Structure 1
Amino acid sequence: MGISREALDAIIEDLGLNSVELQKRKDYLDLGEADGLRLRALLAPADQLKDGYVERFYKLLDRFDECRTVLDRAVRPRDQLQGLHGGQLSAMLSGRYDFDYAQERLRIGLAHQQVGLKPEWYVGAYRVLLEELLPVARRVCGGDEENFSATMLSLFKVCLLDIELVISAYFQADQERLRFFAKAFESDLEAVLITDLAGTVIHASHLTWNISGYAPEVLMGRDINQLISDRNEEDLYQRWGREAEDNAWRGDVWHRHADGHDYLSRMSFAPVRNKSGKITHYVVEYSDVTDAWESEQALKARTEELARSNQELEQFAYVASHDLQEPLRMVASYTQLLARRYKGQLDKDADEFIGYAVDGATRMQGLINDLLKLSRVGTRGKPFAPTDCNRVLDAALANLSVAVQESWAALTRDTLPEVTGDETQLIQLFQNLIGNAIKFRTPGEPPAIHIGAHRIEGAWEFQVRDNGIGISPEYFERVFVIFQRLHSKAEYPGTGIGLALCKKIVERHGGRIWVGSRSGEGTTFFFTIHDKENGNHGH
């Protein structure tokens, strides 16, 4: 029947069946040696009718859909199965109803449970067996009615023994299956409830106690609304009643603990249907997610506060730098006028002081202009659109043409991809990085700069590599901080905002920027831009 020895041994152990227990069953039926003798007398004539019996038996099987389905799915060919059933007929009439016989009957019951044949089918199958053996018994007993009655009683006893053994194995296997599901049910990571359609709890797992504070036996027979907080906007079962017809439901529901406090639960329910498709019960699972929800709310509030703070800072930077432009322009204009008109007419100190004022005003104008650019990255950027980075690089190099020519820079480039972004800001990004490579070149050596890109998961990674003076690793993070300088203004002029601006542009495009370098060995700046196929949207 395809049943393993281990599975059969487990059933025998669960039933507590041994030779002593088997004898008790036979004693209850008063099945003894005399019965065996009477049935053995039927063996030879019944054996001659075996083929006809098996044929009629299989006609009976084919009448029922479940039996026919089992036969169609059977691993063994039909002729082998017919041989097994013919052998069972011989076994019943053998007169040897020992432990081996009982094990074979248990094997049949286990096989029926595994393939889905119901016990009532097995009981009904004895009709064909008795129809076959009654005429045989009458012929063997001749006209001896007393012997015929005794033979039929012996046959009924064996049939009852068979049925009891087969059905015991069947239901023991069913119970083992239920125990397995119950164990899985109780070891679930969530609390589990089973309710009827009115919401009455008919079963609660042990985790319900841990989460709700109510012991499972306390909840049995109570309305599930005892667990639900009145903070919810809608009655839970009204919602389930509407949505259960189509599928399961999952959502967050406020619960009320046994001690009175409310907690948020991640809850799901699924309808249980009978064979006709009618909903009969609900299976409910839930877990306490209050801590996660509170953390999420705190993070959300902090994110909103940071967003407001950033917006206010950007607005302040823009307003402050914009409002400073006019008075600074006036200071710069008049200091430059003083320098032109009175240079050489006053003493040496006066010329020096005027020079300081002009230089300071000019640097202040540059600083304010860079601050304006930085503050406008997030607020004044253009909507994202498909952008050819080859065109972007061409525009950046055109803006840097004088610096490239004066430094004798040698530039090489890969074919660059198309991305989704703000073209103006990407031009500024390339221009700043290439301008840095030109500015921080090794003295006496023309810059060699390469611009490349390759695809990584979900993004394009760009590189701007040079042969300049390099950066020590301890300064890798510092270079992207606003106003941070690694060199004096006399060595390398600038405001210290260029790389901070690059970082802000890259982050607006959903990427990141970093640097790889060693002092004196050149520098490579890397940055990523989301691949346009991933649907990146500017922020």
Structure 2
Amino acid sequence: MTNYEQLREQFETQSHDLRVHQSELENQNEALRQTNLELEWTRNRYADLFKFAPIGYLVCGQDGVIQEINQTGCTQLGSECSSLSGRPFPLFVEEGQRLQVALLLGQVVQAGPDQEPQRLEMLMLRPDGSHWQAQLECTPLLDSSGLSIRIALTDITALKTAQREAEQRSTEVQRLNEELQTFLRTMTLDLTQPQRQMEGFVKLLSKSLTAPDARSAKLLGHLQEAAADMGALTAALTQFFQSTQPNRDPRPLDLNSLVDVSFHELASERQDRQVTLTHDPLPTLHMDATKTRLLLLNLLSNALKFTRPRPEARIHVGMQETAEHYLLSVRDNGVGFDPAQSGRLFGLFERLHSEREFKGQGLGLALVRRIVQQYEGQVWGESTPGEGAVFWVELPKSVVAVLPVQVTKGQSF
């Protein structure tokens, strides 16, 4: 091979390598241009996010002078953005709190980068002298120009106003509740004495009339019945007042024993009747003793009342358990109620049956609901008319501390 041919071959090889390198360089340049476009798009996107964020963003130097601020921040501070750069941020804080802000900014600078944000609620000042409330969240920033402070500025004026209004309403509700409780307590005490006097006078009058005529005897009977009704109403109001009180000294209660004791207390309501009470194994729950007794007394009394027409009354207290709740039920074979009227069951002084059929004050189930709600539970009733009813009480385990289940018992009376 001649020198000429060798040189030509080397030239062609180098030309090919040059074209390859040129192609690679063009590809790299295109990739670099694409990366620059993406970086520019990302920068613009985050610049827009900063500028039009729904909360105020400021970047301040270590001396607290504003370096950057977004549109929301300008609106919050009540000035044009062009006039805010270079002004000390504490000037926009209520004068009495400026030192507190300056100390906060100093703490952020001293803590350095990679520290958790520090928050503070402030009373801010607009150029027109009006005030607004803000939460400051200060974060240290470290870049090529050094350490600076980013401030997130959130307007919490509406939130604070709502909180104050809620506190005022809560205070007013508490005051009205205390007045209501005082009224109930006073009323029940004031009713007790005349009711007892009435019963005593009726007995004395009955004894003084050795041979009352039929009309007098009937009137005396009505008077005695009215006195008894007043006594029952007073007792119901007393129980209802007790249900409005805060839970006192909750302790472990064996529901098996409490059901039996409550049923024995209702002996007068099952006198001369055949009544059978049974119950599932019941747990021991951490509850207020007085309120739990009232809860069971009223559920059992309700079952006794509406089974009165039955030759044999059957009442069963059931218990089901889920991962999060205890579900207590009281089932009876009484007259039941119209399911369409179930929404009235737990209302104050509500009666689904006439007073002639079943006497009552309409407070028992309302009291049950009030007690259950205090334990963050739910209560409801189900029935088919003529086929009995069942009342359910759902109690959350997160509120009622659960102890081991006790030995099952079932009794007939």
CA gap 1:442/1:376 in 2 versus in 1, 3 angstroms: closer
- Preserved contact between residue 74 and residue 84 of structure 2 (Cα < 8 Å): no
Q: 1:201 aligns with which of 37, 56, 66?
A: 66
Q: Report the alpha carbon displacement of residue 429 of structure 1 after superposing the two structures with TM.
A: 0.6
Tell me what 2:204 maps to.
337
Tell me what 1:94 maps to.
18
Is residue 394 of structure 2 the alignment partner of residue 470 of structure 1?
no
Is residue 287 of structure 2 the alignment partner of residue 390 of structure 1?
no
User: For 1:485-496, what aligned pairs fall within 5 Å after superposition?
Assistant: 485-496=351-362
SS at match of 1:524: strand
**d(CA) in 2 for partners of 1:355 and 1:186?**
86
**d(CA) in 1 for partners of 2:210 and 2:127?**
88
Contiguous gaps of at least 5 residues in structure 1: 1-36, 45-89, 111-167
Is residue 131 of structure 2 the alignment partner of residue 265 of structure 1?
no
- Preserved contact between residue 392 and residue 423 of structure 1 (Cα < 8 Å): no
CA gap 1:327/1:415 in 2 versus in 1, 3 angstroms: same
**d(CA) in 2 for partners of 1:288 and 1:377?**
43
**d(CA) in 2 for partners of 1:321 and 1:187?**
64
Per-residue CA deviations over 1:46-96 (Å, capped at 9, x if unaligned) read xxxxxxxxxxxxxxxxxxxxxxxxxxxxxxxxxxxxxxxxxxxx99x7266
What percent identity do the matched residue pairs reach? 23
SS at match of 2:204: helix
**d(CA) in 2 for partners of 1:401 and 1:243?**
73
* One-letter code aligned to 2:88: D
Tell me what 1:80 maps to.
none
**d(CA) in 2 for partners of 1:462 and 1:521?**
20
Structure with greater helix percent: 1
Tell me what 1:122 maps to.
none
CA gap 1:414/1:237 in 2 versus in 1, 3 angstroms: farther
Q: 1:323 aligns with which of 177, 190, 198?
A: 190
TM-score of the superposed pair, with normalisation by structure 2: 0.80
**d(CA) in 2 for partners of 1:359 and 1:404?**
19
Q: Report the alpha carbon displacement of residue 204 of structure 1 after superposing the two structures with TM.
A: 1.2
**d(CA) in 2 for partners of 1:504 and 1:192?**
49
Q: Report the alpha carbon displacement of residue 498 of structure 1 after superposing the two structures with TM.
A: 1.2
- Preserved contact between residue 437 and residue 466 of structure 1 (Cα < 8 Å): yes
Tell me what 2:306 maps to.
440
Tell me what 2:317 maps to.
451
Is residue 285 of structure 2 the alignment partner of residue 419 of structure 1?
yes
Q: Report the alpha carbon displacement of residue 403 of structure 1 after superposing the two structures with TM.
A: 5.0
**d(CA) in 2 for partners of 1:264 and 1:534?**
41
- Preserved contact between residue 390 and residue 415 of structure 1 (Cα < 8 Å): yes
Larger relative contact order (C-alpha < 8 A, sep ≥ 6)? 2
User: For 1:70-469, what aligned pairs fall within 5 Å after superposition?
Assistant: 94=18, 98=22, 100-105=24-29, 107=31, 174-230=39-95, 232=97, 235-242=100-107, 245=111, 247-273=116-142, 280-342=147-209, 344-345=211-212, 347-379=213-245, 382-400=248-266, 407-441=273-307, 443-444=309-310, 446-455=312-321, 458-469=324-335
- Preserved contact between residue 419 and residue 532 of structure 1 (Cα < 8 Å): no
**d(CA) in 2 for partners of 1:522 and 1:417?**
25
* One-letter code aligned to 1:342: L
**d(CA) in 2 for partners of 1:533 and 1:331?**
45
Q: Report the alpha carbon displacement of residue 374 of structure 1 after superposing the two structures with TM.
A: 1.4
Per-residue CA deviations over 1:342-391 (Å, capped at 9, x if unaligned) read 1534x433333322222212211221122122112233753222333333
- Preserved contact between residue 137 and residue 151 of structure 2 (Cα < 8 Å): yes
**d(CA) in 2 for partners of 1:241 and 1:304?**
40
* One-letter code aligned to 2:293: I
- Preserved contact between residue 346 and residue 365 of structure 2 (Cα < 8 Å): yes
Tell me what 2:407 maps to.
none
CA gap 1:430/1:202 in 2 versus in 1, 3 angstroms: same
TM-score of the superposed pair, with normalisation by structure 1: 0.63
* One-letter code aligned to 1:103: N
- What is the number of residues matched between the two proteins? 390
Tell me what 1:146 maps to.
none
**d(CA) in 2 for partners of 1:179 and 1:380?**
59
**d(CA) in 1 for partners of 2:380 and 2:99?**
51
CA gap 1:210/1:410 in 2 versus in 1, 3 angstroms: farther
Q: Report the alpha carbon displacement of residue 177 of structure 1 after superposing the two structures with TM.
A: 4.3
Q: Report the alpha carbon displacement of residue 247 of structure 1 after superposing the two structures with TM.
A: 2.6
**d(CA) in 2 for partners of 1:476 and 1:97?**
87
CA gap 1:323/1:242 in 2 versus in 1, 3 angstroms: farther
Structure with greater strand percent: 2
Contiguous gaps of at least 5 residues in structure 2: 1-6, 403-413
**d(CA) in 1 for partners of 2:195 and 2:253?**
37
Superposed CA RMSD in Å reads 3.5
Per-residue CA deviations over 1:327-355 (Å, capped at 9, x if unaligned) read 3322221122112331534x433333322
